[in-house]
Amino acid sequence: MTAVAGAAVSAATEVVASPVGPVRQLTATGRLVNADPTMYLECRQRQALSYLRAVTPAADLLGYGALGRTADYHRHCAIQQQPRWTMRQDLCGVEDLAALGYEVQWIGHGNLDLLPRLPGLVAAGQPVTFYAPAADVGYWADLMRRRGRPDGGGRGAHGVMVCGVSEDGAWLVAPDTTDEGPDFRPEYLAVAEVTAAATADPEHWFVDCLSLRRTGAPQPEVFAERYRQVVTGLRDGFEAYEALPQLLLADRARRPDLDQQVASADLLRMLAGSRNLFHRFLRYTSHSPEVVAAYRRLAELLSQLLGRSMGYLAGQGPDDLDPWRRDLRTLRTAEVTRLRQLKAELAAGAVTITLPG
């Protein structure tokens, strides 16, 4: 595979030095900031949101439906005992991306023929994403092994977002959250290794492949109407907050591996992460400053509780649930009050959206 030559090259790309030599990459690659610092989203959705936020501040409008129903979060994490990242979150749907000004170009289940197309897609300013077996994605497998997974994540799917190709065509640039924290860093996949892995397991490589192409300007009025429909139809008693203390105590008794699925921590991550995304959306609405500030504070408090839960689940401090009950009951009351306020402000008149500058 060789780098593209003779084709139109988008101004949204640049050639930079890297550990694998010169690479042509999307200019946004070096500006990626994790849009999901609590790490509650599925990997490819987190990658897409982070990329879009790096290229357009209007990407925060995608969070209009982030609140979700907390009962659904509780059912998924606590009752069904499913990992948080396997719960469907409708944050980057095709219609919403179109309203943001982006077209999803579906490639489908790709094969080795995708590799020679990547330089041209990158040169055109388009990131390309697909699923591949975690153990075959070298940098991700290394992270999984550091976190206690000897199999490097096994054959489970991991999202790969290709944002660049080396000038000699031998390497793919695939930024990811692999620094033992929530931040993105540049990672590199050898094309020869990808070819060998995909040849050995074509069924699980290049799955659900797509690229994103910018086609126009964001449509704030579309997001405003979709937001109205979501919130006016939302019914939530926020009982998940009442269930969390006992769930924390049960998980603490198991002394879980906190790098793996833990129901109480997953539920807190989903609550904190969704409120953070929703607050970022609210900033661009005509909702009252009071309600915008309240959701910012709610996201902050939930993030603090998430941090506190890590120590509690690891066995630090007494078992006493009273502080948890008190704090979570306060948050439940705040959720009920603020959802009621959102609905009242929507009922009082049109809530408009101003595009971020």
For 151-185, the pLDDT digits (tens) are 988 999 999 999 999 999 999 999 999 876 678 99
**Using CA atoms, how far apart are residues 258 and 268, in angstroms rounded to an integer?**
13
Percent of the chain whose pLDDT exceeds 70: 96
Largest CA distance in the chain: 68
Long-range contacts formed by 323-330: CB under 8 A, 24+ apart: 324/244, 324/245, 324/248, 325/245, 327/301, 328/241, 328/242, 328/244, 328/245, 329/241, 329/242
Domain segments of the chain: what residues?
A: 13-214, 220-348
The pTM of this model reads 0.93
Please give the full DSSP string across 65-127, using - where no structure is assigned: GTT--HHHHHIIIIIS---GGGS---SS-HHHHHHHTEEEEEEES--GGGGGGHHHHHHTT--
Percent of the chain whose pLDDT exceeds 90: 85
- pLDDT of residue 145 exceeding 70, the answer is yes
DSSP 350: P
CATH class of domain segment(s) 13-214: alpha beta
Q: Residue 198 has what pLDDT?
A: 98
169 versus 355: the higher-pLDDT residue is: 169
CA distances from 279 to 60, 65, 300 (A): 9, 11, 10
Phi, psi of 249, deg, nearest 5 = -65, -40
Contact 339, 236 (CB under 8 A): yes
* Amino acid at position 337, single letter: T
Structure-token pair, residue 99: 């309203």
CA distances from 41 to 30, 67, 173, 303 (A): 22, 13, 22, 15
**Using CA atoms, how far apart are residues 289 and 60, in angstroms rounded to an integer?**
18
Q: Which residues pair with 353 in a beta bridge?
A: 285
